[in-house]
Structure 1
Amino acid sequence: MKIALAQMCSGIDPDRNAKQLGSLVAEAAAGGAVMIFTPEMSGLLDRDRSRAAGVIRSEDDDIVLSTARSEARKGGIWVQLGSLAIKNPGNSNQKWVNRSFLIGPDGEISARYDKIHLFDVDLSADESPRESSAYLGGRRAVVAAIPGATLGLSICYDIRFPGLYEALTNAGADILSIPAAFTVPTGKAHWEILLRARAIEAGAFVVAAGQYGSHEDGRSTYGHSMVVDPWGEILLDMGEGDGLAFCELDLTKVQEVRSRIPAVANRKEFAAPVDVA
């Protein structure tokens, strides 16, 4: 299965980001990829929430989503749109959702996943992002059928919560998508080791398309979009810069590795610890 990864430096203008994304999807299709994976917040990366509020749209009105669907249809390619900031009309508190989309080669949306674990951390005295102040967290893990495989969806900070990936693989996932906009310090320290750990635990392929570079809103992201095989071997590391890269997945590797190390099959339910008297 030939896939493509897009490494982007998304900015504050969804129209400009949509044009770049559309070109990358068309290039992936022309290169023979069955599916392209894009980063978290492919359509808008802006930590100025007052400014972002002026351009965040519902699914029906989002230019990046409509572009991805159109290019998927034109190229006959699957698009795993890492995530978009989306208005959620049914949300009474007016919070947005950080939503991942799986788009089929007919341009139809076949799966949606809302990021469960929101990035509320204290990185430094000057940087304490609170994703939950603007976004509503998801409540449901999602897997979806793709050609020859089952895809498990997640987004960025989810990577630090292995229970989600256990649920995805218990539901049949053999490819795990982890689109991201990792910061530079945490990327250098943890990105590769977390990706490899998730792949090894699950005996699954991990595909992680990331943001890279200095963004218009002042943040810097780590890049190093990766594909890791079920044995934990790195098949692709895009390093720095933006652009497109291709990778071949041998899906027979999943069963081979799970036969050698049957960790998924050997999972057991167990009682939680009781309080110590």
Structure 2
Amino acid sequence: MTFTAAAIQMCSGVDPERNAAAMARLVREAAGRGATYAQTPEMTGMLQRDRAAAKLLQRDEANDIIVATAASLAKELGIFVHVGSTAILLAGGKLANRGYLFGPDGRILNRYDKIHMFDVDLDNGESWRESAAYQPGSEARVLSLPFGQMGFAICYDVRFPALFRAQAVAGAEVMTIPAAFTKQTGEAHWEILLRARAIENGMFVIAAAQAGVHEDGRETFGHSMIIDPWGKVLASAGPAGEAVILAEIDTTAVKAARDKIPNLRNAREFSIEKVVGAAGDVAA
């Protein structure tokens, strides 16, 4: 089955209303260019490092402007709209880094809460503790859609291959990886990780990214990409600023790639033994 996918690159700021307006404009552009599926980046709704300021604008799902705008767009345009993620206020006071897929009728077809928290200290002095504000998810889903089987991940999840392998084994043909990669980590690993996940699982990857210098001072890597099951980059955006990239996705290519390199079928269970020996010893 063939469909036209769009990855929407944004530079989200601190105002959810402005970000919702930017999202609407870019999704409409994607639909006007023929996209039937449009994906926005991680944290579409707001990038704000000042937690006190962010807290004043955080809303639950029923009152979130990004959720409402995306549902309306999907219904208006008759396409699938995938909000890569936005911050959703939970009952206990923490947040979910939650992605949404809306169907052409405007209904929510899937929610995905980012599982792996970005808790890192980088060489350039940047320090991130996503777990301080966000409740990690615990469930991965593969969604059956008219054009194929879709799996879900968000940003830092890309560094955990087991998540992708499990979804591939469960039937995923298209993997979605919206992100807000930092400039430093993006320069080192972004394309390599995306292409590796596509190749090792024989699946398409659609990755919409945040890009450029944001109002809160952070800088994200951009380079939104759509990649085929053989690891070929079908479309790519630049390092900064808004962009809409499109590619034709033919999910029959997934079977072809997996038949050529059948590593999903050929995988075997194995055990690991840790051996401690004297210098010069060789384990039998």
1:32 partner letter: G
Aligned to 2:210: 211
Hey, what's the Cα distance between the residues in 2 that align with 1:88 and 1:128? 24
> How much does 1:206 deviate?
0.5
Aligned to 1:142: 141
Choose which of 70, 73, 83 in structure 2 pairs with 1:71: 73
Equivalent position SS for 1:46: coil
How many positions carry a matched residue from both structures? 273
1:65 partner letter: V
Hey, what's the Cα distance between the residues in 2 that align with 1:87 and 1:243? 29
> How much does 1:276 deviate?
3.9
Aligned to 1:220: 219
| 2:32 is the counterpart of 1:30 | yes
Paired residues for 1:214-253 under 5 Å: 214-240=213-239, 241-253=241-253
Q: Which runs of 5+ in 2 are unaligned?
A: 277-284
Maintained 8 Å contact 1:159/1:194: yes
Q: Which runs of 5+ in 1 are unaligned?
A: none
Of all paired residues, the percent bearing the same amino acid is 52
> How much does 1:109 deviate?
0.4
> How much does 1:125 deviate?
6.2
Higher mean C-alpha deviation, range 117-126 or range 49-58: 117-126
Maintained 8 Å contact 2:61/2:88: yes
Superposed CA deviations along residues 26-83 of structure 1, whole A, max 9, x for unmatched, are 2222222110011000011111111111111000000011001001000001011100
Hey, what's the Cα distance between the residues in 2 that align with 1:244 and 1:227? 11
Maintained 8 Å contact 2:36/2:79: yes
Aligned to 2:165: 166
Aligned to 1:104: 103
Superposed CA RMSD? 1.2
TM-score, normalised relative to structure 2: 0.93
2:81 partner letter: V
Hey, what's the Cα distance between the residues in 1 that align with 2:268 and 2:101? 31
| 2:41 is the counterpart of 1:39 | yes
Choose which of 59, 62, 83 in structure 2 pairs with 1:60: 62
2:7 partner letter: L
Maintained 8 Å contact 1:25/1:72: no
Equivalent position SS for 2:34: coil
1:59 partner letter: E
Equivalent position SS for 1:265: helix
Hey, what's the Cα distance between the residues in 1 that align with 2:70 and 2:232? 30
Maintained 8 Å contact 1:78/1:103: yes
Equivalent position SS for 2:6: strand
Hey, what's the Cα distance between the residues in 1 that align with 2:132 and 2:261? 41
Aligned to 2:267: 267
> How much does 1:142 deviate?
1.5
Hey, what's the Cα distance between the residues in 2 that align with 1:202 and 1:118? 23
2:55 partner letter: A
Hey, what's the Cα distance between the residues in 2 that align with 1:261 and 1:274? 28
**Which has the greater radius of gyration?**
2
Maintained 8 Å contact 1:18/1:67: yes
Hey, what's the Cα distance between the residues in 2 that align with 1:26 and 1:234? 24
Maintained 8 Å contact 1:30/1:75: no
> How much does 1:126 deviate?
3.0
Maintained 8 Å contact 2:236/2:245: no
Equivalent position SS for 2:264: coil
Superposed CA deviations along residues 77-132 of structure 1, whole A, max 9, x for unmatched, are 1011100100111x3xx211100111101100011111000000001363210000
Maintained 8 Å contact 1:226/1:236: yes
> How much does 1:274 deviate?
4.0
Maintained 8 Å contact 2:154/2:178: yes
Hey, what's the Cα distance between the residues in 1 that align with 2:270 and 2:63? 46
TM-score, normalised relative to structure 1: 0.96
1:142 partner letter: R
Maintained 8 Å contact 2:151/2:176: yes
